[in-house]
């Protein structure tokens, strides 16, 4: 199982971005031609992938093919990687507030169950770095999509603060994973500017121009 993050800054040429991507794949001995990616739309659309390539309108990919690596990109949204050790299957999930509200992570586990026979006891999951709850201010129209336990209201700011990691952790628990099977990154994409790109930070500082990180998983 592999977790990879790479950076590609908007505003530089596509050829340079591709070169950066290839460099990191090479460091992990992954042929770029064996990677599957998706054009993400903050949906709950899940795709079983059997071949490399670029797929449109999916926010979760899953596969049981060896030497096929699936990847999603993020810049504040939550990346989740899943490994089914028994049935030798993996999934990569992109879960921003819309995807989390649509329970894309839980639905991905159900899709793995149907496709591969995945059960909770078979799985390990990694919730990657995303924007942390203490800086993720949202309006009431976003907060209403979530159970109150995942939001805190700040009366001074007149904003809710949303905990994406906790909401996605809850979906793993709903499927039956226990904490021993789950790792949660302690890092915040918004605060840790030296390590991560952040779309929201970029909106505040550079009109939304930023890069993306990539989370990747596959079976050798």
Query: What digits encode the pLDDT tens for the residues 33-61?
Result: 999 999 999 999 999 999 999 999 999 99
What torsion do the CA atoms of 94, 97, 99, 105 make, to the nearest 10 degrees?
Answer: 70
Given this model, what pLDDT does residue 3 score? 47
pLDDT band at 22 (very low <50, low <70, confident <90, very high): confident
pLDDT in tens, 151-206: 999 999 999 999 999 999 999 999 999 999 999 999 999 999 989 989 999 888 87
Greatest CA separation for the chain: 52
Sign of the dihedral defined by the CA atoms of residues 48, 115, 34, 100, in that order: positive
Total residues found in the chain within this entry: 220
Q: What is the pLDDT, as a whole number, of residue 83?
A: 98
Q: What residues contact 148, with CB distance under 8 A and at least 6 apart?
A: none
Domains of the chain by start residue, with CATH = 14-131+182-218 (3.60.140.10)
Give the Cβ contact number of residue 11 at 10 Å.
8
Q: How far is CA 184 from CA 16, 30, 79, 180, in A?
A: 32, 25, 10, 11
């Amino acid at each position: 199982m592999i977790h990879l993050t790479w950076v590609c800054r908007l505003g530089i040429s596509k050829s340079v971005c591709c070169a950066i991507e290839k460099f990191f794949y090479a460091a992990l001995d992954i042929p770029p031609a064996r990677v599957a990616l998706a054009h993400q739309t903050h949906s709950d659309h899940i795709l079983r992938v059997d071949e490399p390539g670029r797929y449109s309108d999916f926010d979760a990919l899953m596969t049981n093919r060896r030497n096929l690596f699936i990847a999603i990109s993020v810049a504040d949204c939550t990346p989740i990687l899943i490994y089914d050790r028994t049935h030798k299957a993996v999934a990569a999930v992109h879960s921003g507030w819309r995807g989390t509200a649509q329970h894309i992570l839980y639905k991905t586990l159900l899709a793995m169950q149907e496709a591969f026979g995945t059960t909770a006891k078979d799985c390990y999951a990694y919730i990657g770095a995303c924007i942390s709850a203490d800086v993720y201010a949202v309006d009431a129209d976003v907060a209403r999509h979530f159970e109150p336990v995942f939001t805190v209201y700040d009366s001074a700011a007149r904003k809710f603060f949303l905990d994406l990691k906790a909401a996605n952790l809850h979906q793993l628990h709903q499927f039956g994973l226990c904490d021993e099977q789950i790792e949660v990154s302690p890092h915040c994409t918004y605060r840790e500017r030296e390590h991560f790109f952040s779309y929201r930070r970029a909106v505040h500082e550079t009109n939304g121009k930023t890069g993306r990180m990539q989370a990747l998983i596959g079976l050798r």
